[in-house]
Amino acid sequence: MASLPKSTPSPQCLSHLRRLIRTPSLLPSSPFHQQIRGKKKSTKGPHPVNVRLLEDIRGYGRKGSIIPIAPGRMRNIYFPQRKAEYVTAAQIRAMGGQKELNIERDFGFGIEAPAQEQEQLEDDSVTPETVNVRMDLLTPQRTTEIIEALIPPELIFHRVPITTPEPTSSPEPLGQSITAEPPAQPMPAPLTRIFGSVSTADMVDAIKAVLAEDEEGARVVLSAEDVYIDAEASEETGVEADRLKALGEYRVEIRPKGMVDAIRRGVSIRAVETDA
């Protein structure tokens, strides 16, 4: 088992104690010795140097100004390019000292708004003049007269029909007696469906195309809600809400807002001839 280090006996006389204090190596050693670190180095950057500008430098100052500047910038840029020269402390004292010279960098020197931006700012400060535009709307009576005069009696549209195979009749079995049957009632011709449809919006586009050719007709306000199909919506009629879905002849009513009496026109949907 290791033995503990022996402690140095304490001094008995005053002269012996003073000699121990003057000689640190003679003091009793301690296992809890405190280490003293050196001072940290300063993290501040290099101290700026005072220079005299030999030309105007944007963001720094005018020619002849004495300003503080980073030594690296002066050493690597401004001094080699003859843009600035060093000013010693003796020269500054001869000129009255730093307080008299007001040694400061002019951060705003040369940084101004371009002339175009300045003009724009001046223009924005002027209140724009308000121009009142008056638009003369057509009266309902005049709208009726224009539509009656310009829109033809019938609007013609062309669509591709949907062809369906015709049903074939089965022959009667042999030996069955043929009895005379009363003539059947004539059946209505079947509707020929079309690819796509003709909506009230399509009709309005066709009407506007005609009205646009006239100077006063171009001012007529018309929408799809102002055109109504004069037929019952069903599969037998080929009418579905606001659109036509079969070939045939139809009637529509045109009633723009404010009009009392509707203008009636025909709509004809015809088949497009296709190459077999």
- In residues, how long is the chain? 276
Q: Any idea what the Cα angle at residue 30 is, between residues 26 and 31, rounded to 5°?
A: 145
The pLDDT value recorded for residue 247 is 93
Point out the residues of the chain with pLDDT beneath 70. 1-17, 20-45, 98-100, 112-136, 165-189, 274-276
What is the pLDDT at residue 225?
A: 92
Instruction: Find where tokens 């009637």 sit.
Output: 251
Residue 167 DSSP symbol:
P
Question: How far, in Å, CA of 30 to CA of 259, rounded?
Answer: 114
Each residue's pLDDT tens digit, 170-201: 555 555 555 555 555 555 567 889 988 899 99
Determine the Cα–Cα distance for residues 268 and 155; give it in Å rounded to an integer: 6
The pLDDT value recorded for residue 45 is: 66
Of 247, 254, 252, the C-alpha closest to 266 is: 252
pLDDT of residue 268: 94
CB 267 within 8 A of CB 238: no
According to the model, what pLDDT value does residue 123 have?
A: 59
C-alpha span between 21 and 10 (Å, rounded): 12
pLDDT for position 91: 84
For residue range 235-268, list pLDDT tens digits in order: 888 898 899 999 999 999 999 888 888 999 999 9
Q: Is the dihedral of CA 228, 230, 234, 238 positive or negative?
A: negative
- Tell me if 189 sits within 8 A of 235, measured CB to CB: no
Tokens of 30: 């301690």
Looking at the chain, the whole-number percentage of residues with pLDDT higher than 90 is: 26
DSSP characters over 17-75:
HHHHHH-GGGSPP-SSPPP-PPPPPP---PPPEEEEESS-BTTTB-TT-EEEE-HHHII
pLDDT at 128: 53
Q: Are 189 and 237 in contact (CB under 8 A)?
A: no
